[in-house]
Structure 1
Amino acid sequence: MEFVLNPDRERMELALVMALLVNGRTVFEDFSFAAGVEPFAEVLKEFGLNYTQQGHQLVLEGKGFQYALPSMLPIDLGESRCVMLWTLASKDVEQIYTFAAENDETGIAQVARAKELLQKYFKVKPVDDEPAKFTFTFAPEEVAIKKDSLGNVATIMRNRLLLRTLIRGEYLSFEEKGSVHDQWTKMLMYFGVNVKYESRGMEQLTELERRMMIARGQKVERSLFTEISETQVITGRDYYIPGDATEAMAFVLLTTIAGIPKNTEVCLKNVDLNSSRAGALTCLKRMGGNFETVSRRERFGDVYGDIMVYPLASGKRLQGRRFSEDTMATGIEEFPFLAVAACFAEGETILRIPKELRKEMRSTNEALAENLRKTGAEVGVYDDGLVIRGLETIVNGSDFDGGEVPQNGLALSVLSIALENDEPVANSELVESTYPGVLQKLKQLLEQATAKPETEAS
């Protein structure tokens, strides 16, 4: 069986921003819009980006660094999207910009949230401040660069800093400890921006020095150094947005836990394999997942490829593992899939969340744990994340509810399909709108894998 996934949303959004900054034409190959990205693309039109879909290509015309500056800025596209768009606008510190919404309770709350988010990432000078309307200019000064508990700059701030430095023709350098979400960095490098991005630390030691440090119990630390300097012009190139790693995780998990025939082979085409985006696949591999990359392509500045997935060998089970904050940072969107996998694993699995995300994820983890306990597995929620003790056989479990988190809903849908429940997971419409068609494809996988040959059936 072979499946093509929806394209990765985050990479597509970043590529659209990149296409605006290109002085001329960019072509996205084998293109289709990821769910929910078109409104973001439409806002980029206000900055001057033009694009047309021609067959399987999206042909884009960028404005370079002379893009337009709309005075009304979006406030309802989500944090990462808004921050990138506001960063584009922040190049001009004299123009007056406006946040506005309907002058009712909803609109007032919307503007208040946008102002709070704005002040988190930017220094601004208010011009007029009304309940449902806020006008301001961007200040020339920048907020201080803060690093998280892992020694990294948080992804949204990191992308913003690189974009801000690029459009202003300035210089910036910083060092991080690892597990950096680097899709934007590699995209900048591919399009010819003057970016240096390299690992430092381990390569400066000889093999003997490394062994001696390990023998003494010293940690051999590695750091990542990023440096960006002035780039005069960015020229257009062909680009490709590979398949969504979250959807890939759903197919791998279903093939692993559903008890389908051992001769089944599932091929996932052109999956995003960026190590900072697909870390959860590595985690599942450590738990004993049976899959491999059969076609790896290092093109367009990053890596993607085909994944072949097989059921577990007869008598084999997933094994519980302990995953650190550093490891989980490379697959945080797929956190609920690893939690589902842990319900089937032998022993104890610990999933630790990076410190900065613990408060934000606590309520969604409580809801996830409540659902997973319906299988009979032991699931504990604590400040750092989840502790799960799995079962050898899970035959029960239904009435799951994905709530308002589409990743939770998709992971629980995989569990529900594996248990052959008739009723869909509650709030599955959010899953469908976020990952169009994926639930039908997952059901198709199970149906085809378990269908008896016609001669046997007769």
Structure 2
Amino acid sequence: MNASLPRPLTLSTDGPLRGRVRVPGDKSISHRALMFGGLAVGETRIEGLLEGEDVLATAAAMRAMGCTIERTGSGEWSVHGVGVGSLLQPESALDMGNSGTSTRLLMGLVASHPIVATFTGDASLSRRPMARVIEPLSLMGADFTAAPGNRLPLTLRGLSPAIPIEYTLPVASAQVKSAVLLAGLNTPGITRVIEPVATRDHSERMLAGFGAEITIEDTPQGRSIAVRGEATLHPQHIVVPGDPSSAAFWMVAATIVPGSDIVIENVGMNPTRAGIVAALSAMGADIARENERDVGGEPVADLHVRNAPLKGIEVPADLTPSMIDEYPALFVAAAFAEGRTVARGAHELRVKESDRIAAMAAALTACGVGIEEYEDGLAITGSGGEPIAGGATIASLIDHRIAMSMAIASLHARGRIEVDDGRPIATSYPDFTDTAEILGARADWSER
């Protein structure tokens, strides 16, 4: 096989999905565990780390700046950190692959260290805007030289000591919030971020667990998160829960495939990430939380999902921050609902790994689904539970979530739905097709 050639992928099934599965470790938490462990003095142990390409890019970058990171067993990793303020000058450019999270959070780390780092990425990442992170980090004293449009490749010159700031997020973004807080770790005084709309809070939870002084308040302007700089982080034992973004594909698959009955074990149920469960449940999905518990400060549950008829709804816009990565899977669910589903307020989808609004509109239209496209979302007229037409080849656009979402759609289609290239799936879910086969589906990889 020539690794440079596309690998088309189709999923299919002759019957219901059945079984118990686990999804990979949460990607957001995995990135942060490596970064925060790299800033602690001593050994941090991580279980359940997502071993996808995006997270491995974070590991490689932290190694390049002086941390020792080793895989010690199946899903077990050891991180020996260098301490806040002690990151080393990388000898070469930091290749972020396809990972926007790695790029933006690491920019925050570097911004308050006296080092220079160049960030590069693949073609998809190089099209994604970095201005929203550059703006607050520049206020803290970091200097940037970027490609046109404030895109990669980008060179960052950190400042130490940096300048503490109070910054109100102009758009809801956990990545921007986290970048500023991470820069604040090595900045004298108090660095504060105000978010008018709450976003995922993994950084705040984990930083507090590592010993950073974090203060969180509700204010008239929004949620205020402050970190006291010149922090000392203490090594931790982190157990990474399953990624709800990965679980979303199987929630949708079991819901739409007749007779299906599955359990997805150990899924992170952080309230700032569980919007997809709320949205699907509002549509009529049969999703029961079982064995609810806390693991490492994060709420976790096993999700029991059974096939159920869906009805179109108007998706509440206030769910958007808690399910921004799950919209492609939600769009697939809507394609099988009775009536019309309207999902708006998701402008951020235009600047993900691909333009996910346009990409999913094109993909579902090609499969015979009625679509109305808006600047900030889609209106989808569903099949009422019947198979969709299918019979199309879908452009994945180097986007793992487009590829997985349309692979799931093919499980209940009259005609074959082929994703033109399934390789991007490895960025977040290397075992995606293995999981499909455990549940009774077939994965057909073609060679070109």
TM-score by length of 1: 0.78
SS at match of 1:387: strand
Counting matched residue pairs gives: 412
Does the Cα contact within 8 Å between 2:39 and 2:81 map onto a contact in 1?
Answer: yes
Does the Cα contact within 8 Å between 1:73 and 1:86 map onto a contact in 2?
Answer: no
Displacement of 1:79: 3.4
Give the whole-Å Cα distance in 1 for the aligned partners of 2:126 and 2:441. 48
Displacement of 1:410: 0.8
Which residue number in structure 2 is paired with residue 29 of structure 1? 47
Give the whole-Å Cα distance in 2 for the aligned partners of 1:413 and 1:398. 12
Which residue number in structure 2 is paired with residue 336 of structure 1? 328
* 1:407 aligns to 2:407 (yes or no): no
Q: How far does the alpha carbon of each residue in 1:101-145 deviate from its partner, in whole angstroms, 9 at most, with x for none?
A: 8xxxx99x9999899687445326879999999877435457873
Within the candidate set 127, 130, 148, 2:170 is matched to 148
Which residue number in structure 1 is paired with residue 12 of structure 2? none
Does the Cα contact within 8 Å between 2:180 and 2:193 map onto a contact in 1?
Answer: no
Displacement of 1:298: 1.5
Which of 129-138 and 332-341 deviates more? 129-138
Specify which structure has the higher proportion of helix: 1
Does the Cα contact within 8 Å between 1:323 and 1:350 map onto a contact in 2?
Answer: yes
Judging changes above 3 Å, is the alpha-carbon distance between structure 1 residues 129 and 268 closer, same or farther for their aligned structure 2 residues?
A: closer
Which residue number in structure 2 is paired with residue 455 of structure 1? none
Does the Cα contact within 8 Å between 1:100 and 1:133 map onto a contact in 2?
Answer: yes
SS at match of 1:43: helix
1:8-407 counterparts in 2 under 5 A? 8-31=26-49, 33-56=51-74, 57-72=76-91, 74=93, 76-77=95-96, 78-93=99-114, 95=115, 97=116, 99=118, 119-123=134-138, 137-138=157-158, 140=162, 145-148=167-170, 152=172, 154-199=173-218, 223-230=222-229, 232-260=231-259, 264-312=260-308, 317-355=309-347, 357-358=349-350, 363-392=355-384, 393-404=386-397, 405-407=399-401
Give the whole-Å Cα distance in 2 for the aligned partners of 1:295 and 1:435. 24
Which residue number in structure 1 is paired with residue 7 of structure 2? none
Specify which structure has the higher proportion of strand: 2
SS at match of 1:274: coil
Displacement of 1:330: 1.2
Judging changes above 3 Å, is the alpha-carbon distance between structure 1 residues 255 and 192 closer, same or farther for their aligned structure 2 residues?
A: same
Opposite residue 319 of structure 2, the aligned amino acid is T
**Percentage of matched positions with identical amino acids:** 20
Judging changes above 3 Å, is the alpha-carbon distance between structure 1 residues 420 and 196 closer, same or farther for their aligned structure 2 residues?
A: farther
Judging changes above 3 Å, is the alpha-carbon distance between structure 1 residues 381 and 199 closer, same or farther for their aligned structure 2 residues?
A: same
Displacement of 1:295: 1.4
Which residue number in structure 2 is paired with residue 441 of structure 1? 435
Displacement of 1:172: 2.6
Gaps of 5+ in 2: 1-18, 443-448
Judging changes above 3 Å, is the alpha-carbon distance between structure 1 residues 129 and 354 closer, same or farther for their aligned structure 2 residues?
A: closer
Give the whole-Å Cα distance in 1 for the aligned partners of 2:184 and 2:62. 19
Displacement of 1:64: 1.6
Which of 349-358 and 383-392 deviates more? 349-358
Which residue number in structure 2 is paired with residue 453 of structure 1? none
Does the Cα contact within 8 Å between 2:164 and 2:184 map onto a contact in 1?
Answer: no
Displacement of 1:429: 2.6
Give the whole-Å Cα distance in 2 for the aligned partners of 1:297 and 1:286. 23
Judging changes above 3 Å, is the alpha-carbon distance between structure 1 residues 195 and 286 closer, same or farther for their aligned structure 2 residues?
A: same
